[in-house]
Amino acid sequence: MKSNETSREIDGSPTDDDEDYIEESLREQILGYWDSDLTQAEIGAKCRCRHSKVPKVFREAYGEKALEMRQKYTVSKRKLGANNPMFGKTGENHHNYIGRASDHKGYYTVVRPPWYYSRARRVFEHHVVYCEHNNLKCIPEGMEVHHLDFDPSNNNIENLILLSKGDHIKLHRFLNKTGIRNDYPNKGVDSSESKRETSQVDDEIV
């Protein structure tokens, strides 16, 4: 019967009938790929042996911990750059992206533009529209954006004006008192005035 080494030389086929037996030449060949980015399966294919022999050789030469570190490294390398399944999937390309969305209070929010100054990930659309048109990075402190037609979903720049918080309150108080806007929810004006003054931006009146 021909030896494993002779068989390899004759037909080049894998000689791994004996799982525990590893030729010295094959061992050296496998060890030569230790510093490469190839996976164990790829190293086995290049060395024409079962890939299960690759970790055996590495484990005997470098130890279990080093082998685990190498495996983690090769896996992480395969997910870098264009190999990452999420590569380039940012903003509108991300599967969880939500563009214009209602806050269920009549207003609309959008993802904060890079130029807009805020710590929040999402901001009011009418704030962004007004600031972009007037070359502002955010709504000035103490000011609020008012919708002229009282429709918080109409964020066209022609429908937006900037008022101080005090004037904004007075305007809505007057409109509610005269009944001009008594069909529209009174968000924080009159009886809820103190609550409105301490509320967060998502409770801003129209």
Cα distance between residue 51 and residue 44, in whole Å: 4
The C-alpha torsion from 169 through 200 and 206 to 188, rounded to 10°, is -50
pLDDT at residue 178, as a whole number: 83
Radius of gyration of the chain (CA): 34
Which strand (E) or helix (H) includes residue 186? none
Domain ranges for the chain: 4-83, 98-203
Beta-bridge mates of residue 92:
none
Is the model's pTM score more than 0.95?
no
Give the pLDDT of residue 11: 47
Do residues 196 and 187 touch, judged by C-beta distance below 8 A?
yes
- 10 Å Cβ neighbour count for 140? 11
Greatest CA separation found in the chain? Answer: 108
pLDDT (0 to 100) of residue 109: 93
CB–CB of 146/161 below 8 Å?
yes
The pLDDT of residue 85? 63
> Is-contact 107 203, C-beta < 8 A?
no
pLDDT score for 118:
92
**Residue 53 near residue 20 (C-beta atoms within 8 A):** no
CB 90 within 8 A of CB 84: no
Classified by CATH at the fold level, domain 98-203 comes out as Homing Intron 3 (I-Ppo) Encoded Endonuclease; Chain A (3.90.75)
**Residue with token string 């109409």:** 154
The pLDDT of residue 75 is 80
Q: Tokens for 160?
A: 């937006």
Output the tens digit of pLDDT for each of the chain's 206 residues. 444 444 444 444 444 445 556 789 999 999 999 998 888 888 999 999 988 899 999 999 999 999 999 988 888 777 766 666 666 666 666 566 677 888 888 899 998 999 999 999 899 999 999 999 999 999 999 999 999 988 999 999 999 999 999 999 998 888 888 877 644 444 433 333 333 333 333 333 33
Judge whether 167 and 161 are in contact, CB under 8 Å: no
